[in-house]
Amino acid sequence: MSDPFRSIAPGQRTIQKPSGLEGRGYLTGTAVELNFYPAEPDTGIVFIRTDLPGKPEIPATIDYVIPRQRRTSIGQDNAVIEMIEHVMAALTGLGIDNCRVEMNAAETPGCDGSSQAFVEALRRAGIRDQHVPARIWSIDQQITVNEGGMSLTAMPGSGTAFELNYTLDYANHPIIGQQVHDFELFEGEFERELSSARTFVLESEVEQLRAAGIGRHCTAQDLLIFGPDGPIENSLRYPNEPVRHKMLDVIGDLRLLGCRIHGRVVAHKSGHSLNAELVRAILAASGKAG
């Protein structure tokens, strides 16, 4: 198996010590404490609700995904974890295979709408090799899923990395427009290229979301709100920050496969539900669908 992280031995990795952060969830504004803990080889990524009786555990795999709009959530019985994609992207981007993620509420901290705060917490913890071969899923055939005008295709890659190409199309928006970006998941690249790219919404969507009870506490400093002239009371970290955030989401969502991925993915306007469908399609093509 090839290793998708340059200069990292093809072994599983976890963190050296616990590390965490506090914040408020985007959806409800509920205060939450999230802590990362080391985990044994082959554990994968597991979320734990410490505020519920018995501290139920939910593996972050496609089998536990529950239907949600505009986010990725997992659940088992009465335990739910909302909006895991930014945490999953941070873990994947740093090449961490095994980690226990403890939370005392149902929703991850929103922070600034990116993965940056989670990356910083994981860096404070340190990363260590576990000297057990990494589980890497190599894409060996072309697999495409479609939904409306969106599409997502996985195919064999050209090298020893996870490659991602994303086309974002907001042709009717004067500032966002169409954005295309390529990315390869080598050591350090996620931190440099994607981790600080933030969630974005259009000004026209804000009132609708608040009417649905989502993000009523959020301000223009908590994420990117695009008006006709650009971000409102905020500034871009990258000229094409929206497409980079969409790529961050894809990386987090595809980790629902349960391991690293080696291959190339081409996305056109893909969102969370289609990202999850690609994971299901990859498993179905291999005969391992749950």
- Cα 182 to the center of its chain, rounded Å: 17
| E strands present in 185-252 | 200-202, 224-227, 230-231
> Who contacts 263 (Cβ-Cβ below 8 Å, separation ≥6)?
137, 138, 139, 154, 155, 156, 157, 162, 163
Q: Alpha-carbon dihedral of residues 159, 155, 191, 38, nearest 10 degrees?
A: -100
Write down the catalytic residue from 86, 245, 262, 272.
Answer: 272
Mark whether 262 is an active-site residue.
no
Q: Alpha-carbon dihedral of residues 256, 164, 270, 69, nearest 10 degrees?
A: 30
What's the token pair of residue 257?
């496969």
- Cα 37 to the center of its chain, rounded Å: 18
**Cβ–Cβ < 8 Å for 34, 100:** no
Q: Which residues are catalytic?
A: 272
